[in-house]
């Protein structure tokens, strides 16, 4: 849920309408000021020096090359492969490697070019002169190639492949110098048809809820982690016959070396609590991190491994939502870059954790079919008009083919300064009932959200107080824990589906 996906009620009394128009105008001015300036997509804008980070790893049990030589060789390769590398007089490269490096560099902003990023690099010794005069070194990596065409101001992902390369180095009076850089083998990633893997998992019709505890939303969910409150909430969800929830892993908390162990431990506890209630969990990664820097992809892949390595086999994982509402970042980062980044993350998960289905939670039906050939199930959010809900869903189902389609956010706020709380709650329930009635074709729906929140940070919806107020009041439960009519609507829907399933 973000500031761009709030449903705005129309048809206001004229007198109040004038007042509101002033607020809306102020909001408009404010949003214009705050909206990031979108730019054309040039590859250069996405290249940073962080790619020079020497996160090398060497295969093998016994090495002929001493450690310092291995480090030196890997550093040479990494430095030469900066996408915007220019030769310096002391560059440790010559011959065919120099030609290859120049050809691979992406120096002119005015010309189309392609840049290869390499993830999961591993080096190994292939042939070493015993006196360390000359050395053949093999590298294996996942190569991701992006291309940029300045004429059309676009960046797009071209190819993902497992690649093996050969580098040759020889000793000069200045030390090791790279002489060749050759591709030995390229294997395009072919994951085949994965739908058969998940037939059983998606035979369930998911009735779910987006979840944060009332006392600890967004970042605070994981830092505070109120276990007893969570346990009671999960009981409530299970008692509603709801069989799934969607959660968000705050990137900073799960990525920071000081907190990641604690974060992973809490996530394991959370999944076990869900298992007690037989609740499946759709885990959303990279929350509150709108950063798609291409040269950081290697670190982002490491982040995925750091989170998934210990939980990917947990029986209560429904799937992985790589990024919440990534399409909202298109204007700032460029569609090609965002989609390329998502594709790389998706492929990494599919290769490393083949039993985990993946999706991207698109912010609206118009974006729902993004990367449909990459992801395993289609998910999108519905904050639009109730009218046309089923038509939009049907159109997406048709285009999605045999891939499951889920609406992973729907619902509405009851906060409205111009309507009584009781009336707003009735309207919330009525809207939800209409949406659920039209969602028969969906393979799952997830309501936003179980709870009203005591606090919503500015980093979630911005500083504007009315935005925060709206966001705090989407709950099926009131802040005192009592049920709103919408809770009964969802429960009836869940019970109905459960009954049909049992029949």
Partner 1 sequence: MMNRKKATVSLLSLIMSASFYVTATQAQAPSDRLQVYAGPQTATPGQNISVTIEMTDVDGKSSHDETVKLIYISDGVSTSLSGKVSQGLASFDVPAQRRAGRMIFNAHTGDLISNQTPVKVGAGEPVTFEFTVEPSRNTNLLDITSDVIRDAFGNPVSDQTLIALDWIDQGGVKQSEFVQLSNGRMTYVSSCPDAYAAPLKIRAVLKNVEVFSSELSDLCAGRKERT
Cβ nearer to partner 1, comparing 3 with 104: 104
Shortest Cβ distance from residue 75 to partner 1 (Å)?
22
- CB 501: neighbour CB atoms within 10 A? 11
The position carrying tokens 């009954």 is 499
CB of 221 to partner 1, least distance (A): 53
Neighbours of 475 (CB within 10 A): 26
**Distance separating alpha carbons of residues 251 and 148, to the nearest angstrom:** 29
**Whole-number minimum distance, CB 182 to partner 1, in Å?**
5
**Long-range CB contacts (< 8 A, 24+ apart) of 416-422?**
416/9, 417/466, 418/12, 418/13, 418/16, 418/20, 419/9
- Residue 357 C-beta: closest distance to partner 1, Å: 40
- In the complex, minimum distance from the CB of residue 105 to partner 1, in angstroms, rounded to a whole number: 18
Give the CA distances from residue 374 to residues 68, 300, 347, 350, 381, in Å, rounded to whole numbers and listed in that order: 41, 18, 8, 10, 19
How far apart, in whole angstroms, are the C-alpha atoms of residue 346 and residue 359? 8
Q: Which ranges of 159-257 does DSSP label H, i.e. alpha helix?
A: 219-224, 227-239, 251-255
- Smallest gap, in angstroms, from Cβ of residue 145 to partner 1? 20
Q: Radius of gyration over alpha carbons of the chain, in Å?
A: 26
Residue 129 Cβ vs partner 1, minimum distance, rounded to whole Å: 4
Between 130 and 187, CB nearer to partner 1? 130
Decide whether 171 or 310 has the Cβ nearer to partner 1: 171
Please report how close the Cβ of residue 128 comes to partner 1 at its closest, in angstroms.
Answer: 9
- Which residue, 24 or 183, is less far from partner 1 as judged by CB? 183
Task: Give min distance, CB of 186 to partner 1, in A.
Answer: 15
Indicate the residue among 20 and 134 with the shorter CB distance to partner 1: 134
What single string gives the DSSP state of each residue in 300-320? HHHHHHHHHTTTTT-TTEEEE
Give me the phi and psi of 341, to 5 degrees please.
Answer: -60, -45
Residue 66 or 401 with smaller CB distance to partner 1: 66
Q: Which residue number, 52 or 136, has a Cβ lying nearer to partner 1?
A: 136
Give SS3 for 47: coil
- CB nearer to partner 1: pick between 63 and 466: 63
Could you write out the DSSP letters of every residue in 9-23? -----HHHHHHHHHH
Of the pair 3, 134, the CB lying nearest partner 1 is at: 134
Q: Which residues of 434-454 are buried (b: 16+ CB within 10 A; e: fewer)?
A: ebbebbeebbbbbbbbbbbbe
The residue (of 125 and 287) whose beta carbon lies closer to partner 1 is 125
Report the sign of the C-alpha dihedral through residues 232, 233, 234, 236, in that order.
positive
* Contact residues for 243 (Cβ-Cβ < 8 A; gap 6+): 204, 206, 207, 208, 278, 279, 280, 494
- Of 138 and 197, CB closest to partner 1: 138
Q: Min. distance of Cβ 138 from partner 1 in angstroms? A: 9
Distance CA 8, CA 466 (A): 12
Give the binding site for partner 1 (CB under 8 A). Answer: 95-96, 99, 126-127, 129-134, 136, 166, 168, 170-171, 179-180, 182, 184
Least Å distance between CB 77 and partner 1? Answer: 16
Handedness of CA 396, 398, 401, 407 (dihedral sign): positive
- What is the Cα–Cα distance from 262 to 1, expressed in whole angstroms? 26
């Amino acid at each position: 849920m973000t500031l761009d996906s709030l449903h705005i009620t129309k048809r206001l009394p004229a007198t109040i309408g004038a007042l509101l128009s002033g607020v809306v105008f102020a909001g408009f001015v404010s949003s214009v000021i705050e909206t990031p300036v979108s730019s054309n997509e040039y590859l250069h804008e996405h290249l940073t020096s962080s790619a020079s980070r020497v996160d090398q790893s060497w295969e093998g049990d016994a090495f002929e090359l001493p450690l310092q030589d291995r480090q030196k060789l890997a550093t040479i390769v990494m430095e030469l492969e900066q996408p915007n590398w220019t030769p310096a007089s002391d560059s440790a490269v010559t011959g065919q490697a120099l030609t290859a490096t120049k050809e691979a560099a992406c120096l002119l902003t005015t010309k189309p070019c392609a840049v290869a990023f390499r993830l999961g690099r591993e080096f190994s010794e292939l042939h070493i002169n015993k006196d360390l005069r000359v050395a053949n070194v093999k590298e294996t990596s996942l190569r991701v190639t992006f291309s940029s065409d300045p004429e059309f101001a676009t960046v797009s992902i071209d190819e993902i492949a497992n690649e093996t390369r050969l580098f040759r180095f020889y000793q000069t009076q200045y030390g090791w110098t790279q002489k060749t850089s050759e591709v030995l083998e390229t294997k395009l990633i072919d994951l085949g048809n994965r739908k058969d893997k998940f037939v059983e998992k998606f035979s369930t019709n998911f009735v779910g809820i987006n979840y944060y505890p009332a006392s600890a939303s967004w970042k605070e969910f994981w830092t505070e982690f109120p276990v007893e409150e969570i346990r009671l909430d999960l009981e409530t969800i299970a008692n509603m016959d709801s069989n799934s929830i969607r959660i968000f892993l705050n990137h900073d908390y799960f990525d920071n070396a000081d907190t990641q162990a604690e974060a992973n431990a809490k996530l394991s506890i959370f999944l076990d609590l869900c298992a007690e209630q037989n609740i499946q969990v759709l885990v959303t990664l990279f929350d509150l991190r709108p950063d798609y820097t291409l040269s950081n992809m290697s670190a982002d892949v490491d982040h995925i491994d750091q989170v998934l390595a210990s939980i990917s086999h947990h029986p209560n994982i429904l799937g992985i939502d790589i990024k919440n509402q990534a399409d909202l970042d298109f204007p700032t980062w460029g569609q090609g870059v965002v989609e390329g980044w998502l594709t790389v993350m998706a492929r990494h998960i599919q290769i490393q954790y083949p039993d985990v289905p993946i999706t991207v939670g698109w912010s609206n039906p118009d974006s729902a079919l993004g990367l449909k050939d990459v992801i395993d199930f289609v998910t999108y959010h519905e904050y639009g008009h109730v009218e046309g809900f089923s038509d939009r869903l049907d159109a997406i189902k048709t285009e999605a083919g045999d891939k499951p389609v889920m609406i992973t956010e729907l619902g509405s706020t009851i906060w409205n300064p111009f309507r009584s709380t009781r009336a707003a709650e009735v309207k919330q329930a009525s809207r939800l009932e209409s949406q659920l009635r039209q969602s028969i074709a969906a393979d799952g729906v997830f309501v936003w959200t179980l709870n009203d929140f005591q606090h919503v940070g500015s980093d979630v919806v911005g500083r504007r107080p009315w935005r925060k107020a709206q966001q705090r009041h989407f709950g099926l439960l009131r802040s005192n824990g009592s049920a709103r009519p919408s809770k009964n609507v969802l429960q009836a829907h869940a019970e109905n589906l459960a009954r049909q399933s049992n029949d």
